[in-house]
Structure 1
């Protein structure tokens, strides 16, 4: 969609007339909006653009076309106000934009997400003054509203472009660190809600790494770090978690139940998980039955990985005893591990064995890194020897 450029030729009289038109449409939808009085345009707009005045629009009885018409007209009107230049006028417009965005959030919660995302998408394409925070407010609100059901109007979600957007916010709008983290938090939540789990995990790590050493023990950092751990261990298809230890904000959680739970998923087994769940204070970890079932399924798979890592030729009996499964349960679990690429190998049903040639490395310690470095050095030396041998053969052929 082309960028929308708004006219700066309108007089205050024109704006008052447009505001009155919006007020009348809100009243027609069922809102109780006070009459517009006085000559202070900013205050008059602030009195109309409050969430309660837009609330009747979210009623199912109001047609989607009417909702689009009023919200679209209101969003463009905000743009018409943004040709103000003084700091106080721009700040007043920022407050009006924020109030309108809060109304859009209420609309999303009421089931009008598709309309809201469309309006916010179009607003994001408008040309606002450099010093206005309108784009920041609109983008954060859109991130909160976007979902799989209403993601037709998708704004930019590519990580590198979002980083450039953040850089521009810092440079042009003097956005604070707290506001930037708020944007990063909404961006991460949006990706997770849209099912882009790998991107969401990267965005969460970017958020946690944005905290300074002085901030990692603050309430915001603690909350984000806890959420990072929970999202990671609950995400289907994710079975490697040792890299989370390297994040300072997560290290700051050492000694807490949520950090202990992370350690169970890095190094523990099903028995250790069940003992942890029985003996720990989990008041800070909100886990419903569905989440508990997910964690238990993952721990069964990780326990199987551990057994196969210790013994690549594992008997059904050993798996049955460890996981309290019957023969069919063992085979179903092994097939699932193969599908998830946690293991490679085959089921030797005749001998009731699980023969594996590969299992994921759940924890990559310093010793493993050193072993990998040694192997790479050997491969490099071997390649160098091959290169020298080829050169010798070529020299002999040339001499002949």
Structure 2
């Protein structure tokens, strides 16, 4: 989201006086006279009634009023500004409709970008900013990823507790529109827990697992098993379900669902979507071991009809997780390559062996080229001596 600098061509006293008069004219319970306690008291009183401008004003006019308030707010010293900033942020979350929520979002974004990058108040502004962004469907305008988020607070990192609170909010505002991003946020949240406090993260861990399972674009799930809060769930049904998606095939999931239908449904997981994902994961696992598979094998392993094999393989190829070729004439699928469903020690060993083989082959090629070059030089010398 674009950031606009705050600049008001009036003195602080004049701005305060104009704002008081404006809100008094709107019928707000505020005096038109400046406070004898100073600008901070004026701001408290102005912010206390600032929602009065939401009633009848035009968005452009309201934006100007809020901009004036922000221009005064950023002049308040840090040690005396926290209550003022928090009060203003709370008011901005009260916009009665989407157009005004967009105006409030712009105002909070302006405040955020005009605070010193080392100010701890930026965290509080950003937290409320995300809430307002949700109201006007502009979350992705203010949050595009965890790396971007961390860079925003590089000069004044929030506490672990603050980041956990923010990650929970970001998960909540992205879970209905961007499951992949929501899943990454939850994984980041679980990463903030240590061995000492992982046991209290049960609810966060369950949300993380459910979000990852529900995300149609998340297939590499075994990293979740290493997260400390997830390990504390061992023995629970949700951990059993995650383990199935990590390493088991479709029949195991089908049996789990038959035994625990109520549990799966209570987590908000869609059984048909689970089946679709497990079929794809099962196919990936088969592809690791079998470079060639018959249609009969796939109908049995994936529990689909023969007429569904070709459409299924085409859908798999669209994900680019597997490279394969359909052989309709011989009713076979030829696998070129596949992403590993899990990536543990065996996969690292396989990668090491592959890289070593490449290294050996390159050495052989280099040695061969050296021999050819030497032979050419010897031939050239011989011809020169003859002539």
TM-score bracket relative to the smaller structure: 0.7 to 0.9
Tell me, yes or no, if structure 1 residue 162 matches structure 2 residue 163. no
Equivalent position of 1:208 in the other structure: 190
What does residue 318 of structure 1 align with? 297
Q: Which residue of 1 aligns with 2:77?
A: 85
The residue matched to 1:211 in structure 2 has which SS? coil
Given that 2:118 and 2:155 are in contact with CA atoms closer than 8 Å, whether structure 1 keeps it comes out as no
Contact 2:112/2:122 (8 A) holds in 1 = yes
Q: Distance in 1 between matches of 2:142 and 2:108?
A: 9
Q: Check whether the contact 1:344–1:356 (CA below 8 A) recurs between aligned residues.
A: yes
Q: Cα 1:354–1:185, aligned 2, differ >3 Å: closer, same or farther?
A: same
Cα distance in 1 for residues equivalent to 2:97 and 2:135: 14
Contact residue 239 and residue 362 of structure 1 kept, 8 A: yes
Q: Helix, strand or coil for the counterpart of 2:155? A: helix
Distance in structure 2 (CA, Å) of the matches to 1:342 and 1:81: 52
Which structure 2 residues correspond to residues 273-284 of structure 1 after superposition, within 5 A? 273-280=253-260
2:62 equivalent among 64, 70, 76 = 70
Query: 1:21 is matched with which residue?
Result: 22
In the alignment, the residues of structure 1 paired with residue 88 and residue 336 of structure 2 have an alpha-carbon distance, to the nearest angstrom, of 59
Q: How far is the alpha carbon of 1:334 from its aligned partner?
A: 1.9
Change beyond 3 A, Cα 1:213–1:79? farther
Partner secondary structure for residue 298 of structure 1: helix
Q: Which residue of 2 aligns with 1:116?
A: 104
Which of the numbers 78, 95, 100 marks the counterpart of 2:88?
100
SS in 2 for 1:217: helix
The SS at the match of 2:325 is strand
324, 347, 355: which one aligns with 1:368? 347
2: CA distance between counterparts of 1:120 and 1:141? 8
Pair 1:379-2:358 in alignment: yes
Q: Matches of 1:265 and 1:136 in 2, distance apart?
A: 37
User: What SS does the aligned partner of 1:136 have?
Assistant: helix
Q: Distance in 1 between matches of 2:294 and 2:78?
A: 77
CA distance in structure 1 between the aligned counterparts of 2:331 and 2:30, rounded to whole angstroms:
82
Residues 2-29 of structure 1 show CA distances to partners (whole Å, capped at 9, x for unaligned) of 5225689423x7525523423544x4xx
Distance 2:301 2:69 in 1: 66
The SS at the match of 2:141 is coil
- Pairs aligned (count): 374
Aligned to 1:30: none
**Structure 1 pair 149/133, CA: closer, same or farther in 2 (3 Å)?**
same
Deviation at 1:383, TM superposition (A): 1.6
- Per-residue CA distance 1:270-294 (angstroms, 9 max, x = gap): 33223323434966985447x3332
CA RMSD of aligned residues (A): 3.8
Which segments of 5 or more consecutive residues in structure 1 lack a partner in the other structure?
28-32
- Pairs within 5 Å for 1:1-400: 1-5=3-7, 9-11=11-13, 15=16, 17-22=18-23, 24-25=25-26, 27=27, 33-36=28-31, 39-40=36-37, 42=40, 45-46=43-44, 49=47, 54=51, 57=54, 66-70=58-62, 72-85=64-77, 87=79, 89-90=80-81, 94-107=82-95, 112-126=100-114, 128=115, 132-146=119-133, 150-151=137-138, 154-155=141-142, 157=144, 159-170=146-157, 175-186=158-169, 195=178, 197=180, 201-218=183-200, 221-280=201-260, 286-288=266-268, 291-399=270-378, 400=381
Q: Decide whether aligned partners of structure 1 residues 107 and 273 sit closer, same or farther in structure 2, where only a CA change above 3 A counts.
A: farther
Q: SS of the residue aligned with 2:77?
A: coil
CA–CA separation in structure 2 for the residues paired with 1:307 and 1:263: 17
Offset at 1:56? 8.7
Structure 2: gaps of 5 or more residues: 382-387
Deviation at 1:70, TM superposition (A): 2.9
State which drifts further: 377-386 or 178-187.
178-187
Q: Please give the alpha-carbon distance, in whole angstroms, between the structure 2 residues aligned to 1:365 and 1:108.
A: 52
